Amino acid sequence: MKEATAMGSDGGLLAPVWAGTRAEAITSDAAWLRAMLEAEAALARAQARLELIPSEAAAAIDRTAAALVLDPADLARRARQSANPVVPLVSDLRRAVPGAASSVHRGATSQDILDSAAMLVATRAIRGIVGDLSAIMRDLGGLAERHRDTVMAARTLGQQAVPTTFGLKAAGWLAGLMRARARLRELRLPAQLGGAAGTLAAFAEAPGDPGKALLLAEVFAEEIGLAAPPMPWHAERSAVTELGAALTATARALGKPATDIILMAQTEVGEVAESSAGSSSAMPQKRNPALSVLVRSAALQVPAYTQVLGQVGEHERAAGAWQAEWLPLREALRLTGGAAETAAELVAGLRVFPERMRANAELTGGRLLAERLAAHLDRQTLERALSAEGPLRDVEGRLLDPEAYLGAAPELVDRILATYREQP
């Protein structure tokens, strides 16, 4: 066993929901560093296309950035002198291309590179999240269809309320994830290019043409594979805020089935079970809903991280508010991505026990149908029946059939499934 060191990298010891998932690799220090180098290379290619730097210099920068291996921990320590890691990264890149050093990072500011890299990392993370959501939705659609008419007790404020179906519960989970996926798909994460204070002045100076500077921002976005914004957004952080809101909505939509499954898998309820081992360090008889616990933990954390995103900053470039976004954004992406991958495993392996659902629905001796009885019995008769010990007596049997009091539950399942099937 390797001995842990104080300088060890973050492997998710305290966040097992994303440990070992695709989200961990996509959002790692190495991935962020690679994205920053990709941004520098994209800028050089864009400038060469507009003849703002020599094409030979752009080619050298592109090759070198693709092959350059830097130590994230070393960059982090050196970043303490400039409050961001782009400054030491640019120094290293310039040293690596001595013949084209003057063309590296020309006209750009650190925020151009780091914001663009952040949007690149987020785009890749979201692609994985959307893929996992699609897999979860497919499996939930199957559950909703198979259990369209599977009777169970609906619970409000923790107590049995009226009959429903497990299909409708699964369809409700599906509906939330459909909205979350649609929101993620609608995001158009932008590239960032504004120069020192968002005026593009350094890019316009050499050619003496402001129009070319505007065009450069569009070409840079094309080269890096992000949306072209109408103007630099150094101090206008709605793009980050919207990203955070979409991640929060997704984490919460994933947290809903996880929370319900935790409760439905309780020993005395036993309506569902996970495929995970769910072992305990002290109680060998236990089978904890480990996957659900992991997903729920992420759903509770993501909103706390995203509330830091897009804080109001000063003037054209923020001192502190921008820097405060980096870690919370990374953690929100990690947690949501890890939750999505974990939830896909959870739903794919979920075991459903309809007989326990039916038995639980009958625990109160017909009182689950009290709302229905109120429409057929006078108040005194109903109160007398409900106050008696044991199962309800002297009540017409047909009124106590839970399958006859499902309202539009099966039809609601059909409606949600039809909407799901219409989605691309």
Catalytic residues: 280, 317
Q: What is the 3-state secondary structure (H, E, C) of 132-187?
A: HHHHHHHHHHHHHHHCCCCEEEEEECCEEEEEEEHHHHHHHHHHHHHHHHHHHHHC
Helix (H, G, I), strand (E, B) or coil at 272: strand
Residue among 388, 73, 28, 332 nearest 184 (CA): 332
- Annotate 220-241 with DSSP letters as a single string: HHHHHTSB--SS--SS--HHHH
Helix (H, G, I), strand (E, B) or coil at 351: strand
Strand-pair category, 159-165 with 351-352:
unpaired
Q: What are phi and psi of 391, to 5 degrees?
A: -60, 155
Q: Residue 335: CB partners within 8 Å, gap ≥ 6?
A: 15, 17, 18, 23, 251, 298, 301, 302, 305
